Structure 1
Amino acid sequence: MILDKSKCIEHINDEEQILPLRKVLDKLEQVIRNHTIEYTDFLDPYQRKLCYSFLNRIHDISYHEEGGYHDAERKSIILFPDYREMRDINNPISAVRVDGKFKFTDLNHRDYLGAIMALGVKREKIGDILIHQDFGQIVLHDEILDYIKYNLESIGKESVEIKEIELCDVIKGDVDYKEISSTVSSLRLDAVISSAYNMSRSSSSSYINKSRVKVNWQPIDQVSFEVNEGDMISIKGFGRMVLHRVKGTTRKGRRKLLIRILK
């Protein structure tokens, strides 16, 4: 079978995703040609959704998503010939626990990621970073496990100790957020962002038009895009928020929202 990689992604308009998807297709081509087992970099849900558009059309190839724990956001796709069984394939994912004097330090996801990337590790080699009150956990590829164990010595100004743990010991992290209630005229993306961050509609529209906003990890450049309960919205420079609940309508017809701004 000859894999026409250009045809596989000709329908994808998001130019930022072309290179990551081509890397997946390169792995897929190796499996088809050499009957090997390959795995991708860690991909977010939007990137994996784009991959399904060609993975589900190719015969004789199976795949399995692995993120280290059940509710993982970032996952690697393991690609293998369909005559192989996943239970007989080595899992390429590992995890480490990070310990330090965290009771006296308010470290967040950005601190962890910054410390890791300062070591020269690429973002796509790291899965979820799980923050707990007294410790942290990092899901990563086996290929960088030892490097992280022996080189990650501090996060922020805090000295840390790293030790490998079993994937069954990975625990979903604590989610720290600020909860706000607001009302909006509609569930348009620009209106929801304006309400959450107390900014003008022209400002929120500008962020959207400049491709600085994603909904459920997908870039959105339409100010009139309608969001739904449960949607994750990220704005470059602001972080993430979740439209946690649409609580109904006021007497004046405005929508009542409960929004969680993630810290």
Structure 2
Amino acid sequence: MDENEQLVKHTKELAKRCYERDVLTHTPFLSPADLAAVYDAMRKDGENLQARTFAGAPYVTFGGYEDAERQCLIFLPSYEDADTFLMGEEEESQVVSCLRADPVNRHFADDLTHRDFLGALMNLGIERDRIGDILIEESTGYLFVLKDMADYIRENLTRVRHTIVTLKEIPNRECTARPKFEEIEGSVASERIDAVIGMVFHLSRGRAQELIEAQSVIIDGRTAWSGGYDLKEGARVSVRGQGKFRYLGVVSETRKGRLYVKVQKYV
């Protein structure tokens, strides 16, 4: 049994436990590729993804803030509904906590990056799936983590690189940082996913096709199986090992029929 099969099996067990015992259950943080694997399995089981149920249990995805990349699948008992859960700070904090990490002395703080914070967390022996998105704003890190890890991290994470930090748990909604991106425009022959990926990440069409064949390309939570898929405006694309972007659509067309397209590439 490979990793994806194990993930799907565990997720289905969580859904069944929620349905049978009427209790809230949830996965750890899932990457876009992880979520795509679970969604693909749901489709094979005959689940209607628009119904947002799995093995009888309704679910939501949540990562601490809107549009989070790494998210938990949260299965809801009968006394919770999706809207109530996502609108209620107390309900959200049952699963995901936000820790704000501030340098003790900003004047002498390193220019800390996502990699710095992630490395410091993993040096504490914390597994990657216990950690969600990490957002940076002016040397302050906002760390989304599973609720059951928050106290341990708050007590033990005291230094990131050479910078001494203090941690405070805050309501998820008080995180003011958001992912940063740059807008890119470029010329492509068509809106095919392999063409747009090649333009965004400066890859040959052949290399883009290899990534698709390796199931490394996720579009709106679904694995891309063919380079011939045409992107729709607003589509979110994640390419393992390269990065992610949101497709904004066609800006103009040349006389020779080539398309100028625009994307938001996350940095």
TM range, smaller chain? 0.7 to 0.9
Corresponding residue for residue 68 of structure 2: 72
- The letter for the 1-side match of 2:262 is L
* Residue in 1 that maps onto 2:243: 239
> What residue is the counterpart of 1:9 in the other structure?
none
**Does 1:143 pair with 2:139?**
no
| Equivalent residue, structure 2, for 1:253 | 257
Quote the offset at 1:145 in angstroms: 0.7
Aligned-residue offset at 1:62: 4.4
Shift of 1:162: 1.5
Partner in structure 2 of residue 20 of structure 1? 7
User: Residues of 2 paired with 1:197 and 1:147: CA distance?
Assistant: 38
Distance 2:160 2:265 in 1: 24
Task: Report the Cα offset of residue 80 of structure 1.
Answer: 4.2
Q: How far apart, CA to CA, are the structure 2 residues paired with 1:171 and 1:144?
A: 22
Measure the CA separation in 2 of the matches of 1:19 and 1:102. 47
1:201 aligns with 2:209: no
* Per-residue CA distance 1:40-73 (angstroms, 9 max, x = gap): 22235672872693762655x4445443334434
Query: Using CA pairs below 8 Å that are at least 6 residues apart, which structure has the higher relative contact order?
Result: 2
Look up the SS of the partner of 2:150 in the other structure: helix
> What are the within-5 Å matches in structure 2 for residues 1-263 of structure 1?
17-44=4-31, 47=35, 50=39, 53=47, 56=53, 58-59=55-56, 61-83=57-79, 91-100=94-103, 101=106, 105-177=110-182, 179-263=183-267
Q: Per the alignment, in what secondary structure is the counterpart of residue 27 of structure 2?
A: strand
Structure 1 residue 83, shift from structure 2 partner: 4.6
What amino acid maps onto 1:166 in structure 2?
P
1:13-44 deviation line (CA, Å, top 9, x unaligned): xx754322222222223234444332222235
Identity rate of aligned residues, in percent? 29
Could you say if the C-alpha distance between residues 39 and 198 of structure 1 is closer, same or farther in structure 2, counting changes exceeding 3 Å? closer
Contiguous gaps of at least 5 residues in structure 2? none
Q: Which amino acid aligns with 2:26?
A: Y
How far the C-alpha of 1:256 sits from its partner, in A, is: 0.7
Deviates more, 1:62-71 or 1:16-25: 62-71
Q: Take 1:80 and 1:235, find their aligned partners in 2: how far apart are those partners?
A: 30
How far apart in 2 are the matches of 1:182 and 1:246?
10
CA distance in 2, matches of 1:196, 1:83: 45
Q: CA RMSD in A?
A: 3.2
Distance in 2 separating the partners of 1:78 and 1:44 = 14
Q: Deviation at 1:92?
A: 2.7
What TM-score do the two structures reach when normalised by structure 2? 0.76
Q: Which moved more, 1:61-70 or 1:221-230?
A: 61-70
Deviation at 1:167, TM superposition (A): 2.4
Unaligned runs of 5+ in 1: 1-14
1:153-191 deviation line (CA, Å, top 9, x unaligned): 3334433221111223123414143x3321111111221
Count of aligned residue pairs for this structure pair = 247
